[in-house]
Structure 1
Amino acid sequence: MGRRHRARADDAHAPRPAVARRPPDARARDRRARPAHAALARGARRARWALPPRRLAPPARGAARRRRTVVRGAHRPGPHVRQGHGGIRDRARASDRDRRRAGLRAVPHRAPAGAPVRRPRRRAAGADGPDVRPSPDVRVLGSGLGVLHGRRREVPLVSAPTTARAVTFLRGRSDAALHWVADARRATYGTALVRIAFGAGAVVFLLANAADRDYLWGRAARWAAPLADDGGFSGPFALYSGGLDGTTLTLAYAALLVTAVLFTLGWHTRWVAPLLLVQWVSLLESNPLVGDQSDNIFRILLLYLCFADLSGRWSLDARRRRRLVARYGAPRPLGRLGTAGLNATLDQLGTLVHNLAVVTACAQICLVYVASGLYKAQGARWQDGTAIYYPMQLSHYRPWPALNDLLAQSTVMVALATWFSVLVQLLFPVLLLWRWTRVAAIGGVLAMHAGIAVVMGLPFFSLFMMAGDCLFVRDATFARGEAWVRSRLRRGDASGTADDAPPAPFRARRPQGAVARR
């Protein structure tokens, strides 16, 4: 036996010095004063020997890959993995109570080394439903319908909360539209402006062509009777067909002129409007070669607006209603269907019909703009920005030749005007959805029609279209403008009255301290 082994044996048999042990109460007192993370570290050191070496399982597919969770901080192989929360060396082995003390959340345990990997159950061919059961708040709409097929799982595109919000939004919009249609009459100022513009335009048109009425629609225009028969207007719209003699045409022409004046003033508009429509269409369609697009827009919009309240503002009918209300008061609805109750019911029905007529007229205007913009966008001249140059060179569309030549000399001006007219007509319905874009759209089309009236000499078409565009302006805007005009007129009348009043007599002021004589 060597010296080294003999020394070790002697040391093993040598007595060891006694170690002083602390009393149990002192150790318990120290244990209570020890922080929580030290106890967790001691428990982790005791359980360290039971940790198997960490081995990475082969990659799996589907649900097995999601079930196997890699613990944060366990990126090194082996059981001696140091954690950064409370001194825990093995986060997966610590109890839930220790994790809560250390401020950690519960995590799933790692699969032990060599454990069989659990594969997801395969579905039968043609089975419906997703591979993974969705959460309770998710509703699958059908087999492959509304479902996003992914590599790992299937996620429904439309969930129950999203569907509920969409249904709530649509229901709220429908309720708002119903209230908008049935609560009060809309666009009362716009319809009144349409009445005034259409009536005034008809009066000016009839007065301008009164001297040539026999040549345009009388005996001299009988050659156009076959064209009028092929136009499709018959019955009440064929009063002037065939060419009337001089006296009959003059009387009919004067009756149409009186009807147009009454329509402009708003006198019994419910009866005058249909009468004007029948007389106007009968006169112009007796010779189709005389009319233009202004007659078409006049006929279409007036047909819709015959069902609207055209005399709600700025009319003789409105003044008569105010006087009746001031004298007899507004009709009160009764519980039973009496006279006042019938009036209230008819008024509600009239409100509904009025709003529907306004909506129909607005839809027709939008259709006119979109169709015109689409037809223009198909042309090569509109695409390269030279379309409006050619009509400005025709003698029929040159009321101001100097102005047309001045505008035609600017290539940039011609191109901008061409593209602007196409864009504003195409985007007009979309721009009406928001307030500021609606203001820009209405201002754009008004400027376009004003340019057509001045440059191309089409005043009636521009007047009728501009009047139709006013249907998109809110009553509140017209009311503010009317109040501003009335205030300016009252201020002017007050200043004029003050200027016309006689000057006040001159009175000499008495100086201070002066004593009046007796």
Structure 2
Amino acid sequence: MNRIARPVTHGIARVTEAALGPYQTAVVRIGFAATWLLFLLREFPHRQEMYGPDGPWSWDLARQLVATNHAFTVLMWSDSRVWFEAVYLLAMLSSVLLLVGWRTRTMSVLFMVGVLSLQNRSVFLGDGGDNVIHLMAIYLVFTRCGQVWSLDERRARRARAACARGERPRPDRVGPALWGALGFALALAAGADRMSSGWLTLFWGLWAMQGLWWYLGRRALHAEPRLLLDVVANLVHSAALLVIMAEACLIYSTAGWYKVQGSRWQDGTAVYYPLHLDYFSPWPALSDLLSSHGVIVLLVTYGTVAAQVAFPFTLLNRRVKNVLLAFLMTEHVVIAVVLGLPFFSLAMIAADAVFLPTSFLRRLGGRVARVCGRPAAARAHRTPPAPRGQQPPTGEAAGHTQVGSRA
């Protein structure tokens, strides 16, 4: 009986005591924030035609569709050009701040708002990569994706170091001010009846839990409630991480099995045809060179199907999984160059990053830190987290990741 209870107890303790996969979720955060930011920057000259008042999909048509499918987008609050520019700039700013990990709890929510608002404004512009970003923007809200490689982590580390030296950390004023400003904006939106009851409940819940987390973090007498919030946040984080992994497996498995049913994939010629489409040929000479070799087309066609179908099953073996993961990432790099789909490929690589080994990510973080000339950062990425139950010195500084607000 003890042989059964011991692994179960160990598993429960591992899930509740700390957030699983801190490096993997950090890479997913950085990857999707960078992908969305680069997309917004590239389409900045065309933003009015794609999502703004000058687009063929007019504001009235978008409002009728949103009234039918109940999709969330703040661009339906006003047809003003100024409002559109403000939302577009907010989407870019939240992407930058989420990328560097500044107030990740808040920025993950604003990042989701920016992604949903723009994509749901013009639903016919998206492709597979946009769908992945759409889903992952929602999942990231419930993860503790700022524990490593973030400004929040650096701020919390400095606060702990100050406490270790017997110094009093500087009080956090930015966090409460940001929390109050967003609460005021949310109250205005609620008073103007701009959001459905479901979205209002979600945003008010996140806002209230964020305030509770900050308050308990400043009061040493509330150690047990704070610890309970930490346990709940870790459970929610683990559930969201599991959903992200399942989503990536579902994408590959469904794509692979649908390809199996296609006659062009069965005879090994499917890859040949997109290489001769003008829309997918940014480098015609390169496309012609690849398509002129029948053996290469055959191997790539069958290899793609085999890799996508087999990927979910390779998770049972770490070495095979890592080899196939490297193959899929390389394939996406080739797709980005040869077919001219950089943002689709970046989104898929960011989703695949959730399966990267922790040891590889730690070495990668150390090398990046050394290249940037920051040996202290290279050491910091190996710094163990604070012991469970230890009270952080400040609310926002120590609660540096998606925490109680995810409950």
* 2:169 is equivalent to residue 286 of structure 1: no
Match of 1:23 in 2: none
Cα deviations by residue, 1:309-364 (Å, 9 ceiling, x for unpaired): 1111111111111112112359xx9xxx9323333332222222212211111011
Amino acid at match of 2:149: W
* Residue correspondence of structure 1 range 64-143 to structure 2 within 5 A: none
Q: 2:311 aligns with which of 408, 417, 428?
A: 428
Per-residue deviation at 1:401?
0.9
CA distance in 2, matches of 1:456, 1:200: 21
Match of 1:275 in 2: 110
Q: Secondary structure at the match of 1:219?
A: coil
What are the ranges of 5 or more consecutive residues in structure 2 without an aligned counterpart?
170-215, 376-407
Match of 1:453 in 2: 336
Q: Secondary structure at the match of 2:144?
A: coil
Query: Relative contact order: is structure 1 or structure 2 higher (C-alpha 8 Å, sep ≥ 6)?
Result: 2
Amino acid at match of 2:132: I
Match of 2:80 in 1: 245
* 2:352 is equivalent to residue 469 of structure 1: yes
Cα deviations by residue, 1:459-504 (Å, 9 ceiling, x for unpaired): 1111111111111123233123333555677699xxxxxxxxxxxx
* 2:136 is equivalent to residue 301 of structure 1: yes
* 2:62 is equivalent to residue 230 of structure 1: no
Amino acid at match of 1:349: V
Q: Secondary structure at the match of 2:74?
A: coil
Q: Secondary structure at the match of 1:207?
A: helix
Check whether the contact 1:228–1:288 (CA below 8 A) recurs between aligned residues.
Answer: no
Check whether the contact 2:115–2:137 (CA below 8 A) recurs between aligned residues.
Answer: no
Q: 1:220 aligns with which of 44, 54, 66?
A: 54
Q: Secondary structure at the match of 1:427?
A: helix
Q: 1:192 aligns with which of 18, 23, 26?
A: 26
* Residue correspondence of structure 1 range 161-200 to structure 2 within 5 A: 177-200=11-34
Check whether the contact 1:265–1:316 (CA below 8 A) recurs between aligned residues.
Answer: yes
Match of 2:154 in 1: 319
CA distance in 2, matches of 1:218, 1:185: 39
* 2:39 is equivalent to residue 205 of structure 1: yes
TM-score by length of 1: 0.57
Check whether the contact 2:52–2:84 (CA below 8 A) recurs between aligned residues.
Answer: yes
Check whether the contact 2:271–2:297 (CA below 8 A) recurs between aligned residues.
Answer: yes
Cα deviations by residue, 1:153-207 (Å, 9 ceiling, x for unpaired): xxxxxxxxxxx9xx967x7765564344234322211111111121122222112
Per-residue deviation at 1:219?
2.1
Cα deviations by residue, 1:256-293 (Å, 9 ceiling, x for unpaired): 22122111111111111112112221112211222211
CA distance in 2, matches of 1:293, 1:242: 27
| CA spacing shift, 1:189–1:242, aligned 2, 3 Å | same
Match of 1:390 in 2: 273
Q: 1:371 aligns with which of 250, 254, 259?
A: 254
CA distance in 2, matches of 1:388, 1:437: 25
CA distance in 2, matches of 1:491, 1:307: 31
Check whether the contact 1:186–1:475 (CA below 8 A) recurs between aligned residues.
Answer: no
Match of 1:44 in 2: none
What are the ranges of 5 or more consecutive residues in structure 1 without an aligned counterpart?
1-163, 493-518
CA distance in 1, matches of 2:235, 2:57: 46
Check whether the contact 2:29–2:140 (CA below 8 A) recurs between aligned residues.
Answer: no
* 2:227 is equivalent to residue 344 of structure 1: yes
CA distance in 1, matches of 2:12, 2:256: 31
Aligned-residue sequence identity (percent) comes to: 34
